[in-house]
Amino acid sequence: MKFKNTKPSKKSLKKKKIAAEKKVASSGKKPQFPKIYRIITEGKLIFEAKAKIKSTNSKKILLGLYVILIGFLVILLSIVILKGLIYLKEFRDLNIRRQETMESIKLWQGVTEKYPGFKDAYFRLALLEYQLGDYKKSESYNIQALNLDPNYKDAINLQNLLQKK
């Protein structure tokens, strides 16, 4: 079994070309060009133009995404800054209230030194220390108020709160 050569040889191509020329010459017709409507150079230009359009579109899309990302980051940063400013204001207000409470404690301590039997002064000191979160001092002042008046209802209520802490 013989296999056909898939690639035509140069001799067979020359023979076919010569036969085609003889056929055209004997028929009296002019040789015609093949009916190919596209030109390769134009095809390259069209392809390059389409590639440029695609690349400019992708650049526009990337630019749009960058703008959206930057806008999102700016908004996020402004929210963080605003929250920080709000927390700073709250911190300042809290510091001011703490300083006022400390001044009140000094005032009431002066009253207890001047009037050691004044149960309300010890109770006020207990409340102010409770507000500051110093529960041991608050309890000691409250015990002094209860020693002066064991039936002092406000001091009893504060003592119950202190026992829960």
pLDDT at 21: 65
- Within a 13 Å sphere around the CA of 44, how many CA atoms are in the beta-carbon half? 2
For residues 158 and 123, the answer to whether their CB atoms sit within 8 Å is: yes
- The verdict on residue 44 lying in a domain is yes
* Chain centre to alpha carbon of residue 155: 51
CA-nearest of 118, 122, 128, 116 to 144 is: 122
- The verdict on residue 20 lying in a domain is no
pLDDT at 106: 95
Q: Which domain holds residue 50?
A: 36-164
**Can you tell me the distance from the alpha carbon of 88 to that of 94, in angstroms, rounded to the nearest whole number?**
10
3-state secondary structure of 133: coil
- The verdict on residue 21 lying in a domain is no
Q: What is the CATH number of the domain that holds 51?
A: 1.25.40.10
**Can you tell me the distance from the alpha carbon of 123 to that of 140, in angstroms, rounded to the nearest whole number?**
10
- The verdict on residue 17 lying in a domain is no
Assign 100 a pLDDT band (cuts: 50, 70, 90).
Answer: very high
How many domains in the chain?
Answer: 1
pLDDT at 89: 96
pLDDT in tens, 38-92: 555 555 555 666 666 666 777 888 889 999 999 999 999 999 999 999 999 999 9
- The verdict on residue 105 lying in a domain is yes
- The verdict on residue 2 lying in a domain is no
Average of per-residue pLDDT values in the chain: 82
